Every structure is written in structure tokens, then in C-alpha cells.
């Protein structure tokens, strides 16, 4: 019952609030994007590759939350990437920042009302799979929604049919055709040797996982772990958007009690900076094929 009460008490947004935000953006931006990109920690420089840009700080957008995490610029960028109009979030929102799960996912429904059809989500993640190396890029083929096990699902509460059905399917959350395209592009640009595919597990954070928790996640079948992405994907699929998810493996999750290593956000940002150009190039080249 505790999970249910947490679900019911969440901050709820009305359709009119999403529409107010979308209408404001449509009136201030010339672009009409079909693709939206959510950038994870340290990956916001993808927006620097865009041209004909219009930039909106989150604080200036009606009803929009504000990102508080280092490595997240906190602005919405409209523009063209490889000739395709798109909108890019430089910085996402997290449950651990104190936001409700509905606030974390607020932008996705706004994207839907803007006319977006495809969502690309990127994140920095810890590697649980022994075959993964720091710097690998993982195509997300599935996820484990641990906050959802406790009732923290963004679709709890009244369902608005204008966004989607009451009981959306999640077995196809990550589009197989988009993953195939990503593999093709990765081979073309020479990234195939460090491209992986696996299951992403979301924890609420902000603490990094304990060794015991990491072993449980491995047993559950998780290949990488992070603190984001899943809520946005759930809402995107509810709205009928196609989804491509990409995790940059920034650290190996500690599994040995004798290890002196410790996970930290500075290490994540450092590794992200090292490999970010490859991930940005992959997303950019994908735009010509979507």
C-alpha cells in the first residue's frame, strides 16, 4: 500500500499546462522538430553541432522545471542536425533532485505536443556486465524500472487518453529498427568495436549502488545502471514515440569488497568528456537515416 500511496500523492499536471508550454515554444521557435534528444551528464555538447539554433533557458519556459546537476546546462535548443530539425535538452531532470516523477517526465509530453515522433535518450551509466569496458557505448535494448516496483511510475493516476492508452506495452520500449540503424552507423564510423547492447537498470539515486545491490542487479540481468532515462522512456512510449536509448559506460561498478576504488561524479564527467565526441558523432550521423 505504501507504493500505491506514493503514486497517488504525486504532483499531477493538467493537459492545459503541457499545451501552454508547447504553444509558447511553437510561438518562439521557427523549427518544427520530429526528433527530440535528451542529453545525459556531460553529453550536452551534442547541441553544439546544431545550426540555425534557438536557445531557451529552462527558467524562461512556462511550467518547465530547472536542472540542478553539474554537467547539465539547463536549456532547450531548437535547430538542425545534419539538416534535420530537432530539439535537444541540454540537461535532464532527476528523481533525486526532489522532483516528482511527473515533473521529471514533463518535457516528453511537451515534445509530443510539438509534433515530435522519435526520442533519443542518452545517459552516463555504470557498467555491470563483465564484458563491458569504460568508454563503451551501450545500445539499450530493454530496461529494469526499479522505482516502478515501488509505485513510482509516471503513468500512475488518471490517464489522459489524449496522450495514450491506460495500459501501454513496454516489451518493445526500445525500437529494434532504430537500434539496427545505430549499429549500421557505428560500423560506418568505426565505433563498432566499442558498441555494446544490453539492459539498463534505473535506481533512484543519488547514492551510487552498494556492492550487494550491484550483485542483485547483475542477477536480475542488468548490464548497466544509472539514475535516469526510464521514466522519460515510459512516457514517450505512452505517447507513441519511437525511442532509441544510448548509455555511455563511464565507470565499472565496484563488485569487490577489497577494492579501494570509489564511484564519483567527477570520474563520470571525465570519462564522458573522453568518449563524448564518438557518441555525438553517432547520434548526429543517425539523423540522416531516421
Q: What is the mean pLDDT of residues 245-267?
A: 79
CATH (residue range 2-286): 3.40.50.1580
Cell numbers standing for residue 205: 539515486
Instruction: Please give the share of the chain, as a percent, with pLDDT higher than 70.
Output: 88
How many other β-carbons are positioned within 10 Å of the β-carbon of residue 274? Answer: 14
- Interval 190-242: pLDDT, tens: 888 899 999 999 999 899 999 999 999 999 999 999 999 999 999 999 999 99
Calculate the dihedral angle through the C-alpha atoms of 268, 144, 231, 5, rounding to the nearest 10 degrees: -120
> Would you state the pLDDT for residue 8?
38
pLDDT level of residue 91 (50, 70, 90 thresholds): confident
- Segment among 6-10, 183-187, 264-268 with least mean pLDDT: 6-10
Report which of residues 41 and 164 the model is more confident about.
Answer: 164
Positions annotated as catalytic residues are 41, 72, 94, 96-97, 124, 227-228, 251, 265
What pLDDT digit, counting tens, does each position of 109-146 carry?
Answer: 999 999 999 999 999 899 999 999 988 999 999 999 99
Q: Which of 175, 118, 168, 187 is nearest to 141 (CA)?
A: 175
What CA–CA distances, in Å, run from 3 to 87, 151, 170? 34, 4, 20
Q: How many CB atoms lie within 10 A of CB 79?
A: 21
Q: Where are the domains of the chain?
A: 2-286
Amino acid at each position: 500500500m505504501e507504493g500505491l500511496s506514493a503514486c497517488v500523492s504525486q504532483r499531477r499536471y493538467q493537459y492545459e499546462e503541457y499545451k501552454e508550454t508547447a504553444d509558447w515554444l511553437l510561438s518562439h521557435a521557427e523549427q518544427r522538430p520530429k526528433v527530440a534528444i535528451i542529453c545525459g551528464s556531460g553529453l550536452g555538447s551534442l547541441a553544439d553541432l546544431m545550426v540555425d539554433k534557438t536557445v531557451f533557458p529552462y527558467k524562461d519556459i512556462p511550467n518547465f522545471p530547472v536542472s540542478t546537476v553539474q554537467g547539465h546546462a539547463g536549456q532547450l535548443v531548437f535547430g538542425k542536425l545534419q539538416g534535420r530539425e530537432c530539439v535537444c535538452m541540454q540537461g535532464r531532470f532527476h528523481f533525486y533532485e526532489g522532483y516528482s516523477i511527473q515533473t521529471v517526465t514533463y518535457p516528453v509530453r511537451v515534445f509530443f505536443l510539438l509534433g515530435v515522433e522519435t526520442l533519443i535518450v542518452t545517459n552516463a551509466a555504470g557498467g555491470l556486465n563483465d564484458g563491458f569496458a569504460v568508454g563503451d557505448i551501450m545500445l539499450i535494448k530493454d530496461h529494469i524500472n526499479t522505482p516502478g516496483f515501488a509505485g513510482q511510475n509516471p503513468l500512475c493516476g488518471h490517464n489522459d487518453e489524449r496522450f495514450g492508452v491506460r495500459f501501454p506495452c513496454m516489451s518493445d520500449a526500445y525500437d529494434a529498427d532504430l537500434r539496427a540503424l545505430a549499429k549500421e552507423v557505428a560500423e560506418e564510423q568505426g565505433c563498432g568495436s566499442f558498441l555494446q547492447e544490453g539492459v539498463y537498470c534505473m535506481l533512484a539515486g543519488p547514492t551510487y549502488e552498494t556492492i550487494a545491490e550491484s550483485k542483485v542487479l547483475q542477477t536480475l540481468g542488468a548490464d548497466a545502471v544509472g539514475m535516469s532515462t526510464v521514466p522519460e522512456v515510459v512516457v514517450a512510449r505512452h505517447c507513441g514515440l519511437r525511442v532509441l536509448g544510448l548509455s555511455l559506460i563511464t565507470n565499472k561498478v565496484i563488485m569487490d569488497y577489497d577494492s579501494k576504488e570509489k564511484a564519483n561524479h567527477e570520474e563520470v564527467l571525465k570519462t564522458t568528456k573522453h568518449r563524448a565526441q564518438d557518441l555525438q558523432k553517432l547520434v548526429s550521423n543517425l539523423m540522416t537515416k531516421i
